[in-house]
Structure 1
Amino acid sequence: MTILTSQMSLLLLLLLSLTTFHRSVSSNDQKLVQCNEKDEETLLIFKKGINDSYGKISTWSTEIDCCAWEGVHCDNITGRVTELDLGNHGLTGEINLSILQLEFLSYLDLSQNWFDVISIPATQHNITHPSNLIYLDLSTDSIYASPLKPFLHMNNLDWLSPLSSLKYLNLSFIDLHKVTNWLQAVNTLPSLLELQLYNCNLNNFIINPSIQYSNLSSLLTLDLAVNNLTSQLPNWFFNLTKDLTYLDLRWNNIHGEIPSSLLNLQNLRYLDLSFNKLQGSLPDGISQLPNIQHLDLNSNMLSGSISSIVGNLSSLHYLHIGYNNFSGEISENTFSKLSYLDSLDLSSSNFVFQFDLDWVPPFQLSYLSLSNTNQGPNFPSWIYTQKSPQLLDLSSSGISLVDKNMFSSLIERISHYLDLSNNSLTVDISNLTLKGYTLYLSNNSFTGGLPNISPNARVVDFSYNSFSGSIPHSWNNMKELININLWSNKLSGEVLLPFSDLKQLHILNLGKNKLSGTIPINMSQKLQVVILRDNLFEGTIPPQLFNLPDLFHLDLAQNKLLGSIPDCAYNLTQMVASNNVNSFYADVTYELFTKGQDYMYNINPRRRTIDLSANNLSGNVPLELFHLVQVQTLNLSQNNFIGTISKMIGGMNNMESLDLSNNKFCGEIPQSMSLLTFLEYLNLSCNNFDGKIPIGTQLQSFNASSYIGNPKLCGAPLNNCTIKEENPKNATPSPENEDDDSIRESVFLGMGVGFAAGFWGICGSLFLIRKWRHACYRFVDGVGDKLYVTLMVKLNSFHRN
């Protein structure tokens, strides 16, 4: 036995040695193989058009073998380039498709870069060698495409025809709106298995009836989402290939009914027709698609009953049919066969839900949306049985009654997204810890203290409730928080959140509570919205608030703030520049008092606002405030401001609402205010303004209520100004009167000089030039003769009559 064991050990050692030797030889062989010179030349031509700001392809040098260049892979034996992988390398400049002339290239990935242009060499259409290219990805991504960085454009796809071996093609985010024959071009690729044309601005299904599209029979995946396909779904479209497993046509403008030819796709597993304009009922045969796992018909105009159709799709994992006009009854029978269901969306539908109270579904959902459906008043008991939900949306569902223990346990299990807004829930959840990243509980009647929140929370909207007490200390750990909205609750005490640690915070709304103390000094530099309105904050306004570059909405109204507006270097870039900031709005709405009344607005950086009204602020208004030329709403009313209004206010030409009422401003209203052509609301009442209201279309369009309470102010729309006559001997002309008199004298003098020049210009010419003088005499004589003859004829005719 020992001898046998020794022999086996020796044999294993020998095999290991041989393997090591083979690898060593292979490695040495690889080192000996050099890059093909022709391939190297092609790569260097391709590199010439590329701007490599990150130095990712700095290895592309003739001093290094091209098989060792970044992203380049060669065949170990021949040294020919077989793969080029430069995806997500931060490259800009030109994609030169001469790179396709690499004879043995099978894989080319240039996706998710910042290229500006695609160059198609004329020789590309004349490639004589058979193409080995199997994989081609030139796509970019939405984070790279913007108005400042437009999509790549391509005017034709004829260069595809030599690529007969291509199996994967991705041209997503390349503008192809000028390519009217895109389907014919793709038909030249007989081996194609996957076609990705997401967001390519395609606008038609144009097809040439004389062309046979049999070359597309191998196609398995087709993505035409987010284009501008405005026609109906033609029947022939579903005859292109019978092996299709993945079809995405969402976010187009496709209208009409779903054709019955869809049923030809018996292998279909993924179908997305959402966000189109489809009408009519579902074809009955959809229930006969045996392999369908993902069905998304969301946001169309489809109608009819779906219970019997959907109920037979036993392979379904994903069913989103909300935001349609479907009707009929939904019961446990609808879902009795859907044991694999994981994601369900029936939002904004007219279904009648008929579930037994003790029904236990055959599935466990990770995603459930029943928003804007009639579920109440009782919370649907079957939802309590879901053990690991990641998303739950029951907003606007008429729910008011819950089983407190089961409800508390359920919402603590939600790991990502919880939306219970716009119901009538009155539960005390102060002892709970909510784990979701996004939490919408607004517009309910939740009582007690605020619940604990996961450190990973990003959006917290608890507005319009009855939460009381202070903000919990546990909230100090929410380092990922982007939006916090506690508007209109009963919260009190000082705000002790370390805002300087919340470096991702964009939106801070603590308005309409009873919070006290001073405004926190250190704030996140990413703040865009700060609303502390209608609280008990006191002390001065921190200068740091005016050094937030992305801030476009500041509302500190109705507090007990003292002192003056900070006199500092304002760094409110968004209130000076017209560019929009990248923001996380998360469908946030807020109340804004503007144009003399309350409005509900969606968070929008195009609406820039400063509201410091109803405090105890005093002193002069800093000149820096009038440099914020993009501000549309400025409200400084009900304070104790003094001094004059700077003429620079005329440069705030985007102003729509200006309220300076109930202060102690004095002096004249600046003439430059007449330049505020977008002004829709103005209130300067109850100040100490004097003089005449400047003449301008805007300022005279407001009624007298905008100016009352200024005893020394006159001019339209108030009473006309009256000037008391003084003894001319004792009257001392004011500089303004002197200016008016000098202007009047200049006008009259100019008129006199002009008349004299004109008169002597004509008469002097007649006096000095004989020909002109004789011509003038002849003209006058001729006119006199004609008048005499005409008069005599009229008189003779009169006598005869």
Structure 2
Amino acid sequence: GCFLLWLLPSILRAQASPETRPSSPLCQQSPTKVSCKGVGLRKFPKELGQGIKYLELSNNFIQNLSGSNMPGFGQLEYLDVCFNQLEAVSATTLAQLPRLRSLLLGSNHLDRNYLANGEAFHLLRNIEVLDLSVNNLESHMASWYISNLTSLRVLDLSRNMMTKLLAGTFRNSPWLRQLDLSNNYIMEIQEGAFEPLEDLEVLNLALNSLLCISGFSLTQLRVLNLSHNALELFSSQEGAEPYLLRVLDLSHNRLLSFPELPRAHDLTHLNLSNNLIASLLPGSPYPRDFVLLYKEMQRFNRTVHPVAALTQVADLDLSNNRLELFPFSFFHSLGS
């Protein structure tokens, strides 16, 4: 009995040794997919088998992605390192992941070493899905990280420390289709910031600090969320090209009037709840107790019907506003 107890520590060490086992006994592994979620890893598991395409390493304690030799990961397409302590990513490591398409790095510390990390990210030219949420990134840091990612389709920058969108942020990401910028502190969108994004379909700017959207020109958007800002004005750009917008959320803002959307013919869902809208009458004057804070808001005094083009709207939410009158002409203009 004593002899077996004496051997027990050696047996346990042999079982746990990466040299004797190709993978952690706590990881779940199939021929092309490995999940090591929440198993207490403190470094990248280089000992995993060949041919892996999907690797989940979330909820661990990994601080860096580095290593001169990472055999077996040349086929990797999906890597999830969310909810770790990641602060350093080496170019040597990323260079060995030529087929990587999805990289999830949310809830880490990528604000540290961002210059070196961003330089390493320049090697990720095939990345299509990138999650950088909850990394304490400021505006210039986020711009640097994505500055050379020419294949991006989906980008999550939510819950960071961004205060403005710089004009050149998305200059090299023309194929972006979905962009999440929610839960930041964005107060300013510089002119031309979205201009390169001609394929953008879904944009989330909820839970920021925007005061005014003037000359909205993203005609190709399908879904736009601007809820929980401080918007007092939302106006679209004048022109002949119709908007493809189907879902628009302007709830929980400070809008004084029904937004004019003369070319939003495809709009089906419009949320205007929890604003300060007092009248739906075309060209109606503002109530005396409202003060126009921006000269540009005077544009709304013209007598264009605010809902003349909203013939496809199926869901309209005007709850929690300051409305006292619903004119018949308003409902007559709605198609459903």
Normalized against structure 2, the TM-score is what?
A: 0.68
Q: Aligned partners of 1:47 and 1:126: how far apart in 2?
A: 6
Partner of 2:128: 220
The answer (yes or no) to whether the contact 2:258–2:280 under 8 Å persists in 1 is no
For residue 363 of structure 1, the aligned residue among 266, 288, 301 is 266
The answer (yes or no) to whether the contact 1:221–1:245 under 8 Å persists in 2 is yes
Q: Does 1:171 align with 2:116?
A: no
Q: Deviations over 1:513-567 (max 9, x none)?
A: xxxxxxxxxxxxxxxxxxxxxxxxxxxxxxxxxxxxxxxxxxxxxxxxxxxxxxx
Q: Aligned partners of 1:257 and 1:405: how far apart in 2?
A: 40
In structure 2, the CA distance between the partners of 1:296 and 1:387, relative to structure 1 (3 Å rule), is closer
In structure 2, the CA distance between the partners of 1:300 and 1:165, relative to structure 1 (3 Å rule), is same
Cα deviation, residue 187, structure 1: 5.2
Q: Does 1:152 align with 2:60?
A: yes
Pick 1 or 2: higher relative contact order, CA cutoff 8 A, min separation 6.
Answer: 2
The answer (yes or no) to whether the contact 2:158–2:184 under 8 Å persists in 1 is yes
Q: One-letter code of the match for 1:232?
A: S
Partner of 1:345: 249
Q: Does 1:315 align with 2:220?
A: yes
Q: Secondary structure of the equivalent of 1:301? A: coil
Partner of 2:319: 395
For residue 378 of structure 1, the aligned residue among 280, 305, 315 is 280
Superposed, 1:428-447 pairs within 5 Å as: none
The answer (yes or no) to whether the contact 1:204–1:230 under 8 Å persists in 2 is no
In structure 2, the CA distance between the partners of 1:337 and 1:398, relative to structure 1 (3 Å rule), is farther
Q: Secondary structure of the equivalent of 1:233? A: helix
Q: Does 1:255 align with 2:163?
A: yes
For residue 324 of structure 1, the aligned residue among 206, 229, 235 is 229
Q: Which has the higher strand share?
A: 1
Partner of 2:53: 134
Q: Aligned partners of 2:199 and 2:264: how far apart in 1?
A: 22
In structure 2, the CA distance between the partners of 1:304 and 1:384, relative to structure 1 (3 Å rule), is closer
Q: Aligned partners of 2:117 and 2:102: how far apart in 1?
A: 24
Superposed, 1:762-777 pairs within 5 Å as: none
Q: Does 1:110 align with 2:13?
A: no
Q: Deviations over 1:134-170 (max 9, x none)?
A: 222344xxxxxxxxxxx43334433794323212112
Q: One-letter code of the match for 2:87?
A: T
Q: Aligned partners of 1:210 and 1:406: how far apart in 2?
A: 52
In structure 2, the CA distance between the partners of 1:238 and 1:306, relative to structure 1 (3 Å rule), is farther
Q: One-letter code of the match for 2:225?
A: H
Q: Deviations over 1:707-758 (max 9, x none)?
A: xxxxxxxxxxxxxxxxxxxxxxxxxxxxxxxxxxxxxxxxxxxxxxxxxxxx
The answer (yes or no) to whether the contact 2:110–2:137 under 8 Å persists in 1 is no
Cα deviation, residue 291, structure 1: 0.9
Superposed, 1:356-505 pairs within 5 Å as: 361-365=264-268, 367-378=269-280, 385-389=311-315, 392-402=316-326
Q: Aligned partners of 1:387 and 1:328: how far apart in 2?
A: 21
The answer (yes or no) to whether the contact 2:270–2:313 under 8 Å persists in 1 is no
Q: One-letter code of the match for 2:314?
A: S
Q: Deviations over 1:605-631 (max 9, x none)?
A: xxxxxxxxxxxxxxxxxxxxxxxxxxx
The answer (yes or no) to whether the contact 1:336–1:361 under 8 Å persists in 2 is no
Q: One-letter code of the match for 2:272?
A: L
In structure 2, the CA distance between the partners of 1:384 and 1:271, relative to structure 1 (3 Å rule), is closer
Q: Aligned partners of 1:157 and 1:354: how far apart in 2?
A: 48
Superposed, 1:576-725 pairs within 5 Å as: none
The answer (yes or no) to whether the contact 1:188–1:215 under 8 Å persists in 2 is no
Runs of at least 5 residues in structure 2 that lack an aligned partner in the other structure: 1-17, 282-305
Cα deviation, residue 241, structure 1: 1.4
Cα deviation, residue 248, structure 1: 0.8
Q: Aligned partners of 1:349 and 1:304: how far apart in 2?
A: 10
For residue 140 of structure 2, the aligned residue among 222, 233, 240 is 233
Q: Aligned partners of 1:208 and 1:171: how far apart in 2?
A: 18
Q: Aligned partners of 2:259 and 2:270: how far apart in 1?
A: 17
Q: Secondary structure of the equivalent of 1:216? A: coil
In structure 2, the CA distance between the partners of 1:315 and 1:201, relative to structure 1 (3 Å rule), is same
Q: One-letter code of the match for 2:55?
A: L
Q: Secondary structure of the equivalent of 1:302? A: coil
In structure 2, the CA distance between the partners of 1:205 and 1:245, relative to structure 1 (3 Å rule), is farther
Normalized against structure 1, the TM-score is what?
A: 0.31
In structure 2, the CA distance between the partners of 1:276 and 1:325, relative to structure 1 (3 Å rule), is same
In structure 2, the CA distance between the partners of 1:306 and 1:296, relative to structure 1 (3 Å rule), is farther
Q: Aligned partners of 2:222 and 2:260: how far apart in 1?
A: 21
Q: Does 1:182 align with 2:107?
A: no
The answer (yes or no) to whether the contact 1:233–1:256 under 8 Å persists in 2 is no
The answer (yes or no) to whether the contact 1:219–1:241 under 8 Å persists in 2 is yes
Partner of 1:95: 27
Q: One-letter code of the match for 2:277?
A: Q
Q: Deviations over 1:25-52 (max 9, x none)?
A: xxxxxxxxxxxxxxxxx9x968994xxx
Q: One-letter code of the match for 1:385?
A: T
Q: Percent identity?
A: 23
Q: One-letter code of the match for 2:245?
A: L
Q: Aligned partners of 2:277 and 2:312: how far apart in 1?
A: 17
Cα deviation, residue 303, structure 1: 4.6
Q: One-letter code of the match for 1:290?
A: E
Partner of 2:181: 273
Q: Which has the higher helix share?
A: 1
In structure 2, the CA distance between the partners of 1:398 and 1:46, relative to structure 1 (3 Å rule), is farther
Q: One-letter code of the match for 2:103?
A: L
The answer (yes or no) to whether the contact 1:223–1:247 under 8 Å persists in 2 is yes
Cα deviation, residue 242, structure 1: 1.4
Q: One-letter code of the match for 2:246?
A: D
Q: Aligned partners of 2:118 and 2:160: how far apart in 1?
A: 27
Q: Aligned partners of 1:288 and 1:189: how far apart in 2?
A: 28
